[in-house]
Structure 1
Amino acid sequence: MTVTLDTIELLQPSSTHRRQKGGEGTALLPHFIAGPENAFALFVCRQQESISLRGNPLLLVGPTGCGKTTLAMTIATLELEQHNGDASMLYLPAADFARNYTNALSADDLEHFRERTDSIDLLVIDDVHSIAEKPSSQEELAARLESRDRRGMPSILTCRRLPSEFRGIRPLLASRMLPGLTVSLRLPGQEARQTIIEQLCQKNSLKIDPDWIDLLCRGLPDSLSVRRLAAVVNHLRLLDENKKPIDAVAIQAAITVASGGNEPTIGAIAKAVARRFQLKTAELKSSTRRQQVVRARALAMYLGRQLTASSLQQIGEYFGGRDHSTVLHACRKTSELLASNSQLSQTADEVREQLQTA
């Protein structure tokens, strides 16, 4: 079955619209290329109605590298164009919003901070998940979003997942982020990935036989962003510049490099899990049977089995010299718990996401 791809030109608001620099990241390609996985996102981009009418705030949700920020800036540009150039935009990473709020609070200048945030024609807050552990900043952002909505002022937000799926996001902020229009974005699917690689090759003046490109696309992991795909093409470009043939061996090497970048070490997994459970890595390796440590250790073993090629014996060796049957039991028990314990399942998802973006 033939899959139809769609594209939209990536845009940036002009400097005359901006009230603060930021969000100008250099796009690797001039267009966003979407397969069925992101068709709805491009449909939303093309809507002529103001964000304040189609759903305010507009929330873009998706994993790191899926294009949330670039699409947010494209939508912002199209929104500003409806004002015939007489509009202003404020782009802020959520961490900067929190920092500005804290500074205004310390300087007893909240009134000015709030008026500036509320009155700007278009507000873009990027990576809201980054303030998951800052409750006062979350409450302030929720209040500003509510105030802007009452005024009919559009806002665009981005977040890795739905705010209700982050334990650190307060219900108040989640309730202000979700009533508008939520658009889910995904990493490029198989068809989009192939077109992206072909265009990256053209951009780098790299000529590769279509059969090799097809082999490359079929062998690459699904969880690769456009930036990671560009790194694969760059690997092949360097081979070509060094007069090395682009053949099956070179393609397999590129696949191995890309796949290897996705595999964390057991140590990295243990460290990430320990941090989520507010433990030390040494405790996961110890002989303690405290329930919190046992559960964290079992989750780390399970993720080690899922995310690496390490054997049960190798995983057991890392966690204090435990034998393979202990690791196998921990993995089976954790697999059962993940199906019934939503909090543990969410923790596992958060660790996976952290390791994939490290």
Structure 2
Amino acid sequence: MSFDKSGEGYERELWARVRARLKASVGEDVFASWFQRLELEEVVADLAHLSAPTRFLCSWVQSNYSDRLLEAFQQDAPEVARLQLTQRVNGQARVRLAPKPEQASSAQPEAPEQPKVTAPSQAPRLVHDNSANKGDALAGSAIDQRMTFDTFVAGGPNEIALGVARQVANAVINGTVSYNPVYLHSSVGLGKSHLLNAIAHAASAADSTRTIVYLTADHFMYSFITAVKSQSAIAFKEWLRRVDLLLIDDMQFLQGKSATEFGHTLGTLLTGAKQVVVAADAPPRDLELVDDRLRSRLSGGLVVPITGFDYELRRGIVQRRADQAHARFGVQFPSAVIDYIARAVVSNGRDLDGAVNRLVAGYQLTGELITVPMAENKLADLVRTRDARKVRIEDILKMVSRHYKVPRTELLSARRSRDVVRPRQIAMYLAKILTARSLPEIGRRFGGRDHTTVLHSVRKVEQLMRDDSELCQEIELLKRMLEE
């Protein structure tokens, strides 16, 4: 069916036909991911100008679907031989094309014509692109503008990690590779994410041409799964392997096929002399959900621990936060209060930040001056709280195996005899209450069992503990031994 190419609605009807053709060609899911938010701005001579809400979407479509788009246009408008995609800002395309022929005598183009979009281009640099829509698989994790080297408080426990982070940033700026990969690990709140953000800031500020990608592990998994669902996994892998600096945070949450894919990507990046920095809450050997090959690769780089903060570093952090509160709110922190917080709150940096925030809020809401007695009252639940020892499922298996004299292999087996089932149920119960692992994760660690099996075991042990005081004491003993 033909339609009037001279009418006012020509472009609107043309775009409707192209969209319908694309949807039928690629399917609903792919269309919704990559074409739904495209708009046809205008058709000028042999050039169709499209716009998208993000730079990433522009780059992804032109890199992976430009030929298919052009083919869809040419079925109704064979004169269209080129495509151009630009980003929309506040609902309007940043770059307009040359005016239509009838307007050429009275108007000038607002900007020079952009390069033709006929071949895949480099993927977007994402370190500053935090405006991407949440639906974009590779929009990147947001960079915290406050986390720079200038705002990082250095001290004995973190000075090596800080030095390594600065060296990595300088190497990226100079186009070289420092240690690779770099693996930072510590318990929560000790500055790992701050250093990753600081590296990204420093490297991108010095050289904006570098392709720098910061992703949390859950964002990496989401990106990979989305790419697989949209049948663009190969393009996803190729995009990720073109980066100059890859920063992955919270590595301990990477699992399954995403962990396998990250292992392959890591190997490619190392072979290509690209820089990788990873942060996690445990050393590589303790990453229970990743395979041995990936653990080996991570261990083969530079592994840098950040230990618990000493008094001097805690005081430095509190002093920095107190100075910021004074500059922002006019709140005075006496030296004695800063000393008290540094000595009393010993868990992590986030609790130190929270302590200062509580006192500032108390002052603003009640007008009460910040004193040591006030701090003692407001911070009672934070005082001298220490992180319990991180218990791993492997530790639980070893402890239960030794205590009940049941081989570890039997605990993971399919055997249903009473002398194996009861210790296995107790081990699952301990894994549920002593670790942050989900029921499906625990099931996988116990021989690939279903999460409903784990839930049944937990409830069974809870019932037995209510009815059997000796078992209750026995399990409490196991808990104390695991937490020591």
Q: What TM bracket, shorter-length normalisation?
A: 0.5 to 0.7
On the 8 A contact 1:59/1:182 being kept in 2, the answer is yes
Q: 1:292 to 1:46 in 2, by over 3 A?
A: same
Letter of the 1:217 counterpart: A
Higher relative contact order (CA 8 A, sep 6+): 1
Give per-residue Cα distances to partners, 1:15-41, cap 9 Å, x unaligned: 59x984424235389511122111111
Give the alignment partner of residue 150 of structure 1, picking from 271, 293, 299.
Answer: 271
TM-score normalised by L of structure 2: 0.52
State the secondary structure of the residue aligned to 2:248.
Answer: strand
Indicate yes or no: 2:158 matched with 1:38: yes
1:130 and 1:115 mapped to 2: Cα distance? 23
Cα deviation per residue 1:265-313 (whole Å; 9 max; x = unaligned)?
xxxxxxxx9xxx9xxxxxxxxxxx911234556788999xxxxxxxxxx
Report the Cα offset of residue 116 of structure 1: 0.3
Change (3 A) 1:237 1:157: same
- 1:101 and 1:63 mapped to 2: Cα distance? 27
Q: Which residue of 2 aligns with 1:22?
A: 141
CA distance, structure 1, for counterparts of residue 431 and residue 258 of structure 2: 31
Q: Give the whole-Å Cα distance in 2 for the aligned partners of 1:230 and 1:87.
A: 33
SS in 1 for 2:381: helix
Q: Please, which of 194, 211, 216 is the counterpart of residue 70 of structure 1?
A: 194
User: Which residues in structure 2 correspond to 1:163-174 (within 5 Å)?
Assistant: 163-174=284-295
**1:141 aligns to what?**
262
The structure 2 residue matched to 1:122, chosen from 236, 245, 256, is: 245
Superposition map of 1:1-358 within 5 A: 14-15=128-129, 20-25=139-144, 27=146, 31-47=151-167, 48-50=170-172, 53-80=177-204, 84-132=207-255, 134=256, 136-205=257-326, 206-220=331-345, 222-225=346-349, 227-241=350-364, 242-259=366-383, 290-295=422-427, 319-320=465-466, 323=469, 329-332=474-477, 338=482
Equivalents in 2 of 1:64, 1:208: separation in Å? 26
The one-letter code sitting in structure 1 at the alignment partner of 2:200 is: A
| Residue type of the alignment partner of 2:143 | E
Question: Displacement, 1:187?
Answer: 4.4
Contact between 2:227 and 2:236, CA under 8 Å: does it hold in 1? Answer: yes
Letter in 1 for 2:309: P
Structure showing greater Rg: 2
* Cα 1:28/1:261, change in 2 over 3 Å: farther
**Contact 1:302-1:330 at 8 Å conserved across structures:** no
> Tell me, what secondary structure is at the counterpart of 2:278?
strand
User: Structure 1 residues 39, 31: closer, same or farther in 2, change over 3 A?
Assistant: same
Cα contact 1:127–1:158 (8 A) shared by 2: yes
What SS does the corresponding residue of 1:244 show, helix, strand or coil? coil
Distance 1:180 1:78, change over 3 A: farther
Identical-pair percentage = 20
Distance 1:73 1:301 in 2: 33
Alpha carbons 2:184, 2:280 under 8 Å: kept: yes
Length-normalised TM-score, structure 1 = 0.68
In 1, the alpha carbon distance for the partners of 2:337 and 2:205 equals 43
State how many pairs are aligned: 288
Give how far 1:240 is off: 2.3
Report if the CA contact (8 A) 2:260-2:290 is conserved: no
**Alignment check: 8 A CA contact 1:299 1:334 kept:** no
Unaligned runs of 5+ in 2: 1-125, 133-137, 389-395, 401-420, 436-461
8 Å Cα contact 1:194/1:214 also seen in 2? yes
CA distance, structure 2, for counterparts of residue 182 and residue 302 of structure 1: 26
Residue 165 of structure 1 deviates from its aligned partner by 0.4
**Separation in structure 1 between the aligned mates of residue 280 and residue 434 of structure 2, nearest angstrom:** 27
User: SS state of the match for residue 123, structure 1?
Assistant: strand
Contact 2:363 2:370 in 1 (8 A): yes
Contact 1:62–1:186 at 8 Å: present in 2 too?
A: yes
Letter of the structure 2 residue corresponding to residue 44 of structure 1: V
Residue 119 of structure 1: CA displacement?
A: 0.9
* Secondary structure at the counterpart of residue 288 of structure 2: coil
Q: Tell me which protein shows more helix as a share of its residues.
A: 1
Seen in structure 2, the aligned counterparts of structure 1 residues 301 and 321 have a Cα distance that, compared at 3 Å, is farther
Q: Which amino acid aligns with 2:466?
A: G
Letter in 2 for 1:184: P
Q: Give, in whole Å, the separation in 1 of the partners of 2:240 and 2:433.
A: 46
Distance apart, 1:191 and its partner CA:
1.0
1:207-245 Cα shifts (integer Å, max 9, x gaps):
13212322232222x2122x3212211221233231224
- Contact 2:161–2:304 (8 Å) recurs in 1: yes
Cα distance in 2, alignment partners of residues 295 and 154 from structure 1 = 40
Opposite residue 291 of structure 1, the aligned amino acid is P
Question: Structure 1 CA distance, aligned partners of 2:464 and 2:377?
Answer: 29
| C-alpha deviation, 1:321, in angstroms | 6.5
Separation in structure 2 between the aligned mates of residue 96 and residue 151 of structure 1, nearest angstrom: 24
The answer to whether the 8 A contact 2:465-2:471 is kept is: no
2:382 is paired with a residue whose SS is: helix
Specify every segment of 5 or more residues in structure 1 that has no aligned partner in the other structure, as ranges: 1-11, 265-272, 278-288, 304-315, 339-347, 350-358
Instruction: State the alpha-carbon separation in 2 of the partners of residues 129 and 302 from structure 1.
Output: 16
Rounded Cα–Cα distance in structure 1 between residues aligned with 2:293 and 2:363 = 54
Q: Which amino acid aligns with 1:34?
A: A
- Over 3 Å counting, the alpha-carbon distance change for 1:330 and 1:14 in structure 2 is closer
